[in-house]
Structures are given as C-alpha cells and as structure tokens.
C-alpha cells in the first residue's frame, strides 16, 4: 500500500513521539496527532459504512479540549487490572516469508465500541507492507492481524503501529457524558524465534472437556477431577479456602535464532508481560500475576542449547505436589466465562538485540502466520454464581440449600426435573445484585446470572423494577426492588442441570433450576446467554451510544456475509 508524502510525514512525526517499543495516548489538542489518528482510521477505507469511527475521534478531541488529557487508569493495587494494547507478533510469515503482524486490545470492564488498525511500515521506503483492521461492540477483548501477506519480502527492516480507539462501556455518547480514549503502540522488528513456542501446559488433558472450545480449569475441585475422562483439564483442590483464585499452569520453551544473553536476569535480560482477561467485561477485569518474582524464577536458558528459553510452572496433582502454576488472585468475573491468556516474552540476545515470543489465547487456536507466536484456546474457569442462602426446589417439591446440593441430586426445572451434573462453589468478590419481587421472593446473584422473564431470559444486570419474572409453578411476579451490592464478598454456588451446552446451537433451550422460587439459568446459561447477546443486534445497540448504531448495523451485515 503506497501512501502520500504527507502521510509519510505524519508517520515520521508520530514515530518521534512514541517511545521505542512503547505506547502513546493521543493528545488531540495537537492537530497533527489528531490527523494521524484520522489517517489510521481512514486506511480501512470503509468510513462511509462505519461513520462512527471518525465521530469517536472527534468526540475524544472535544473532550480533551474541555478537560485536558485524561490520565485516569483502573486500579492496579489489589487485582492487577489494566487496559492493554499490545503487538505480540511482528516477523515473517511461515507460509511465504512475507511480513506479517498481530495485535490486540483489552479494556477493564469492557468497551461499548473499539476499532483497531495494525500497520507495518517499511523503514526505507516508508510505504505500508502489511495492514489489518478489526472492530467490535460490547466486549472487552479484541484481536487484530494483518491480512495474508503478499508484499514486504524477507526484509525485516520494518516497524509496526497499532492504532486504537474505544468508547467506554458506560459512554452515553453525548458531549458531556462521553467516555473514550485513543492511542497508538509501536514495535520495531528484530530477529526472532525459529519457530513457535512449544507447550506442555496449558494444553488439553481430558477426553471429555466441559467446554470443548476452551482449556477448562476447575477451581475448588478434587485433584482427581482433571485429565483422563474428567470434565477439567486442570483442577485446584482448595477445600478450606474455597476462593476462586485463578491459577494457570505454564510449562514450555521457545528457541531463538541466536544466543540468549547469559546469565538471564529478570527485568533486564528478560521482560515478561502476563495477564488473563475476561472476554466480555462482565466481570470487569483483567488480572496480572500476584507474584512475578516467582514467575521470573521459573524461566532459564537451556543448559544444552544457549538459544533456548524454557520455563516450568507446572500443574498440581495432589496435596503433597500442588505444582507451581501462575497465580492471578481472585477471579473477579463470573464462573463459566471465557478468558484470554497472554504471555509476552522479550529477551535480550547475546549481541544486545531484543527478540520477542508470545503465547496467547484465541478463539481459533494456532492459525497465526508468524514464528514466535503460539495461539492456544481460551481459558474457562468454573466455580459458582448464586448466594449460599438460596433454597433449591428438589424433584419431590421439597427445598434444599444450594450449598448442600451434590452431583446426582434430582432438582425441579421449568419443564420438569433434571439430574445435577456438577456443582460449583467459590468466594465471589465484586458486584452482586439482590432481586426482590412483589411476592416477597428474594435472591442474590452475580450480575450475569440468568433469570427467566416474561420476555425470555435476561441477565440480572439487565433487569429493571417492574419486569415480570417467572417463578415456580409458571406464574409471573413483578420485580419490586433491585439492590446493587458493589462490594459483595461471600460464597456463591451454581449447578449444572445438563451437560455442556454449545453456545452456538441455534434455538437450544436454556437449562434451568429453581432457587428461592425464581426460575433461573444453570451454569450453561451464563455462557450461552453472554455469547448470544453478543450476536443480538438490539442488545448490542442498547450498549453503545446512538451515534454508533449505523456502525453496528454495518458490523452485523459484514458478519453475516
């Protein structure tokens, strides 16, 4: 893609502002930064179909003119939350030795809209040799990769730029309430790995996974409930703690094209960037490791091969051998939501150059064209969702506290009875909601737990006073009160009343049970409901500013095509 002399001047201007292999939040009070962002957005050549992209930049410019450049970031003191935009891969395609790159963005709490532009520029001609574009709505994570490379040759004298612009999940779209940000990430190319990283963990270890499209990790489960014919690839036995502490085993290696500088020193010879992020933003979180010193200590140079970096943070198998997985602290989103793992590794080579490798989750694993970037399945943590005081209606009409339910129990559902396949339990730290009906039914759940209503299934966070909920016996009762509990900290539980439910199965009924008289969804319902809402154009429009509605229409048309 050839660009004009004026566009090349904008690249040169921004290149001087962006830190090497760093990022910059645009200050649109500088007209040239605004012009660069506009150019990066317009390179997608679809502004007529997605007019909201340029309008978003204009609204950000107006907000900065009113209020200055915002430096507010989500809290990182306790849970490690942070917004992140990364270019993990920049190198030669394995298929045809042409330049290719990939990147992603993730937003704490989710975004109402985001668009990404990924550009690779030749440092000699300053023309664009690879490019890619991506956009989505009402999510928290968005990947992008360059189109199948056809130009750029085998010369890696290139620089990649990742432009992003997003509107916040609560952005109203009006001039005073607008919430959004835009910026750019830069990464220079270097000689990298000779192939993708190889992994011993996390990988598929079970022949009967709960979710066939994810690596399944059971929190607060028996050690024996992993691998083989169990539901989980990995399980963490925490019978006393009962906290949903996210743990991911990480064991593997990657080989570079030259020697790694020895001795390997943390944060000077090796830089790690690790996190796990909720895809939809329903839990509002992206989590970083709680103990990076332990993680760094697990990395070393292979004694038999000075070009190979290896690491060992294995899974546990018993109380006496609990392993040494990466610990991410309390998982702040709800059970059964897909999360995305990322580990970026920057290594100083013997000649002083930097090399990069990465392992990252993606819905379509291991399809990237780059050496050095291994794509794996998303992570699914499984544990809980309804407060322990809830009384579950059994098949014989009696009730039992949800914390007393065990696999094999027979419970009532909206259309009969079902056998409990498994149960989940854990400490819920974060937002919860207490819903009370005018018939004195009351229950406390996580924000994305599914209720059956007169208008079909709805997540708790989408309920309003006056909505009609379905209760035991088929009657409808109105919601009299909804009480948010922003700092809920207590045990919650959930049940599965059917085997794994494929979220893509059209028209597949939602599995239910009855708690405190309310007909509510089981653990499958959370996954399937969140997945289906993302494909419901009316729901997505309700989550984005009105000026973006034409963009949503175009997005759904493109996805259908």
Look at residue 280 in the predicted model and tell me its pLDDT.
67
Q: Tell me how far apart the alpha carbons of residues 224 and 516 are, in angstroms, rounded to a whole number.
A: 33
pTM, 2 dp? 0.72
Sheet holding 299-301: strands in order across? 198-201, 250-255, 308-313, 299-301
Same domain, 305 and 341: yes
Same domain, 168 and 217: no
Same domain, 217 and 262: yes
Identify whether the C-beta of residue 185 lies closer than 8 Å to the C-beta of residue 161: yes
Same domain, 66 and 117: yes
Identify whether the C-beta of residue 430 lies closer than 8 Å to the C-beta of residue 452: no
Look at residue 77 in the predicted model and tell me its pLDDT.
34
Q: How many CB atoms lie within 10 A of CB 547?
A: 17
Q: How far is CA 112 from CA 64, 135, 143, 362, in A?
A: 19, 11, 16, 21
Of 375, 403, 284, the C-alpha closest to 334 is: 284
Q: Tell me how far apart the alpha carbons of residues 472 and 414 are, in angstroms, rounded to a whole number.
A: 8
Is position 78 within any domain?
A: yes
Is position 556 within any domain?
A: no
Look at residue 163 in the predicted model and tell me its pLDDT.
97
The alpha carbon of residue 17 and the mean position of all alpha carbons in its chain are separated, in whole angstroms, by: 29
Q: Residue 443 sits in which domain range?
A: 386-527
Show the beta-strand stretches assigned E in 51-98: 84-92
Same domain, 23 and 156: yes
Same domain, 155 and 261: no
Same domain, 418 and 378: no
Is position 446 within any domain?
A: yes
Query: Of 325, 347, 382, which residue constitutes the final position of a domain?
Result: 382
Look at residue 175 in the predicted model and tell me its pLDDT.
39
Is position 558 within any domain?
A: no
For the stretch 358-365, contacts whose Cβ atoms lie closer than 8 Å and that sit 24 or more positions apart, written own/partner, are 358/88, 358/89, 358/197, 359/197, 359/199, 359/250, 359/252, 360/88, 360/104, 362/143, 363/213
Q: Tell me how far apart the alpha carbons of residues 482 and 459 are, in angstroms, rounded to a whole number.
A: 13
Strands 286-287 and 270-278: antiparallel
Same domain, 85 and 206: no
Is position 191 within any domain?
A: no
Query: Of 340, 357, 382, which residue constitutes the final position of a domain?
Result: 382
Look at residue 174 in the predicted model and tell me its pLDDT.
40
Q: Tell me how far apart the alpha carbons of residues 554 and 560 are, in angstroms, rounded to a whole number.
A: 10
Same domain, 402 and 415: yes
Instruction: Give the residue ranges of the chain where pLDDT is below 50.
Output: 73-81, 171-176, 241-242
Q: Tell me how far apart the alpha carbons of residues 387 and 444 are, in angstroms, rounded to a whole number.
A: 6
Same domain, 143 and 24: yes
CATH number at 460 reads 2.170.16.10
Look at residue 155 in the predicted model and tell me its pLDDT.
67
List, as one string, the DSSP characters of 286-349.
EE--S-HHHHHHTEEE-TT-TTEEEEEEPPP-SSS----PEEEEE--SPTT-EEEEEEEEEEEB
List, in order, residues 6 or more apart from 200 with CB less than 8 Å away: 251, 252, 314
Length of the chain: 561
Of 208, 211, 213, 212, the C-alpha closest to 228 is: 208
Q: Tell me how far apart the alpha carbons of residues 108 and 287 are, in angstroms, rounded to a whole number.
A: 10
Is position 373 within any domain?
A: yes
Is position 541 within any domain?
A: no
Same domain, 405 and 358: no
Look at residue 33 in the predicted model and tell me its pLDDT.
97
Q: Tell me how far apart the alpha carbons of residues 309 and 197 are, in angstroms, rounded to a whole number.
A: 9
Q: Tell me how far apart the alpha carbons of residues 134 and 336 are, in angstroms, rounded to a whole number.
A: 26
Same domain, 130 and 217: no
Structural domain tally of the chain?
A: 3
Query: Of 335, 361, 382, which residue constitutes the final position of a domain?
Result: 382
Look at residue 86 in the predicted model and tell me its pLDDT.
86
Is position 485 within any domain?
A: yes
């Amino acid at each position: 893609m050839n660009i004009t002399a004026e566009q090349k001047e904008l690249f040169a201007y921004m290149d001087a502002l962006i830190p090497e292999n760093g990022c910059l939040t645009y200050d649109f009070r500088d007209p040239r930064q605004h012009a660069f962002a506009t150019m990066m957005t317009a390179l997608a050549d679809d502004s007529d179909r997605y007019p909201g992209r340029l309008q978003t930049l204009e609204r950000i410019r107006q907000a900065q003119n009113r209020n200055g450049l915002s430096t507010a970031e989500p809290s990182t003191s306790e849970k490690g939350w942070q917004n992140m935009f990364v270019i993990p891969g920049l190198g030669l395609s394995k298929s045809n030795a042409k330049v290719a790159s990939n990147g992603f963005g993730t937003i704490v709490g989710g975004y109402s809209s985001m668009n990404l532009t990924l550009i690779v520029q030749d440092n000699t001609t300053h023309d664009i040799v690879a490019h890619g574009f991506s956009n989505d709505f009402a999510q928290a994570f968005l990947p992008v990769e360059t189109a199948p490379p056809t130009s750029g040759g085998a010369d890696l004298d290139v620089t990649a730029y990742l432009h992003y612009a997003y509107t916040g999940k609560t952005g109203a779209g009006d001039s005073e309430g607008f919430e959004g940000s835009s910026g750019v990430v830069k990464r220079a190319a270097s000689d990298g790995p000779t192939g993708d990283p190889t992994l011993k963990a996390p990988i598929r270890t079970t022949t009967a996974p709960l979710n066939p499209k994810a690596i399944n990790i059971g929190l607060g489960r028996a050690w024996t409930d992993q691998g083989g014919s169990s539901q989980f690839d990995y399980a963490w036995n925490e019978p006393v703690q009962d906290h949903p502490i996210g743990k991911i085993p990480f064991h593997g290696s990657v080989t570079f094209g030259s020697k790694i500088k020895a001795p390997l020193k943390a944060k000077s010879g090796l830089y790690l960037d690790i996190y796990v992020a909720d895809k939809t933003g329903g839990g509002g979180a992206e989590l970083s490791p709680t103990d990076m010193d332990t993680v760094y200590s697990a990395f070393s140079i292979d004694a038999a091969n000075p070009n190979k970096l290896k690491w060992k943070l294995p899974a546990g198998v018993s109380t006496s051998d609990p392993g040494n997985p990466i610990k991410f602290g309390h998982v702040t989103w709800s059970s059964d939501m897909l999360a995305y793992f990322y580990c970026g590794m920057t290594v100083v080579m013997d000649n002083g150059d930097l090399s990069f490798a990465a392992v990252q989750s993606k819905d379509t694993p291991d399809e990237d064209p780059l050496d050095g970037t291994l794509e794996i399945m998303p992570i699914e943590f499984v544990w809980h969702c309804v407060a322990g005081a809830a009384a579950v209606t059994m098949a014989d009409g009696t009730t039992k506290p949800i914390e007393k339910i065990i696999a094999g129990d027979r419970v009532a559902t909206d259309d009969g009875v079902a056998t409990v396949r498994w149960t989940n339990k854990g400490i819920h730290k974060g937002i919860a909601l207490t819903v009370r009906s005018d018939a004195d039914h009351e229950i406390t759940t996580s924000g994305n737990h599914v209720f059956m209503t007169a208008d079909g299934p709805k997540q708790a966070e989408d309920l309003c006073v006056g909505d009609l909920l379905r209760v035991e016996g088929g009657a409808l009762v109105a919601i009299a009160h909804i009480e948010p509990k922003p700092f809920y900290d207590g045990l919650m539980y959930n049940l599965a009343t059917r085997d794994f439910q494929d979220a893509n199965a059209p028209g597949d009924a939602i599995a239910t049970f009855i708690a405190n008289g309310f007909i509510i969804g089981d653990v499958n319902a959370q996954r399937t409901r969140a997945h289906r809402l993302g494909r419901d154009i009316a729901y997505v429009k309700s989550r984005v500013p009105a000026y973006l509605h034409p963009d949503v229409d175009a997005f759904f048309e493109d996805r259908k095509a």
